[in-house]
Amino acid sequence: MAKAKSIPVRRAAAEPAVHTVQPDAPWAWLGAGWRDLWAVPQVSLAYGLLFAAISGVLTWSLFHLDMQYMLMPMAAGFMLVGPMLAVGLYETSRRLATGETVGLGPALFVKTRSPAQLAFLGALLMLMLLAWIRIAQLVYALFFGLSDFPGFEQSIQLVFFTPEGLGMLAVGSAAGGVIAVGVFAVAAFAVPMLMVREMDAVSAMIASVAAVRANLWPMLVWGWLIVVMTAVGIVTLYVGLIVTFPLLGHATWHAYRQVIDGVEPDAG
């Protein structure tokens, strides 16, 4: 594999450099994440089980409150806040590399270097999630008016087998895609960056966008892998999330280490 090249981020000399990686780098990140997962399965799978259980409870609550129409926007929105939810997995991979004690406690209660800035970024991602949910409601109203939600089973027929449903799906996917790409570029590296560096959230987001732009093709592949593996986790009634969520979390840490710190995945 060719040695990564360093591209300084433009704002300030103190800010992190960005390293370019090969197009096949995402597969190496997944491989490193897989090794981390099975190095401490009691932590990784417990973390995944916890978030699968939370997802199941949220889904049950939506059905119980007769708000099934929120299920698809919430499932899509999961990927917007996913980088924040995986902080404990980044910390677990970091501890594995440094030889520190690894456990579920440190994974759930992470001591970050920039806690206030990380909280600010988390609030921003939550606002984007709420904005996406609102946009999804407006797109539904655009094609179906203010009529009541027909029910989950009927909605499948409505969305995929009617002109209005296909139109809603196209417009909603386009709107959601624009939001998802923006959030992905901003948060892909900013979250782990704020976990281990003392810096402000704006600088971290700018550095993250610069890293994505400098590695456009690998990041497109990485984004596609995240979407596919998250979708697998969701369509298996969240059982798949027990494995796919921690796998992606560990792999994201190795992506950060290579793109920002210049550390190859196999280097630990």
Structure tokens at 243: 């494995």
Taking only the tens place, the pLDDT of each residue in 189-229 is 999 999 999 999 999 999 999 999 999 999 999 999 998 99
> Is 150 part of a structural domain of the chain?
yes
> Is 11 part of a structural domain of the chain?
no
Distance CA 138, CA 162 (A): 18
pLDDT number for residue 150: 62
Q: Residue 64: exposed, middle, or buried by beta-carbon count in 10 A (0-12, 13-18, 19+)?
A: exposed
> Is 74 part of a structural domain of the chain?
yes
Provide the residue range defining the domain that includes 155.
19-98+114-267
> Is 13 part of a structural domain of the chain?
no
pTM for the predicted model, two decimal places: 0.85
> Which is higher by pLDDT, 44 or 151?
44
Q: Residue 34: exposed, middle, or buried by beta-carbon count in 10 A (0-12, 13-18, 19+)?
A: middle
Taking only the tens place, the pLDDT of each residue in 59-115 is 898 888 877 767 777 777 777 788 899 999 999 999 999 999 999 999 999 999 999
**What is the tally of helices (H) and strands (E) in the chain?**
12, 2
pLDDT band at 29 (very low <50, low <70, confident <90, very high): very high
> Is 213 part of a structural domain of the chain?
yes
> Is 156 part of a structural domain of the chain?
yes
125, 117 in Cβ contact below 8 A? no
* Cα dihedral 150/153/155/156 (nearest 10): -170
Q: Which of these ranges, 23-32, 33-42, 93-102, 166-175, has the smallest mean pLDDT?
A: 166-175
Distance CA 28, CA 54 (A): 30
214, 18 in Cβ contact below 8 A? yes
* Cα dihedral 126/132/134/139 (nearest 10): -170
110, 253 in Cβ contact below 8 A? no
- Name the average pLDDT for the chain: 86
- Total number of domains in the chain: 1
Q: Is the pLDDT of residue 50 over 80?
A: yes
**E-state strands within the chain:** 5-8, 17-20
> Is 109 part of a structural domain of the chain?
no
> Is 3 part of a structural domain of the chain?
no
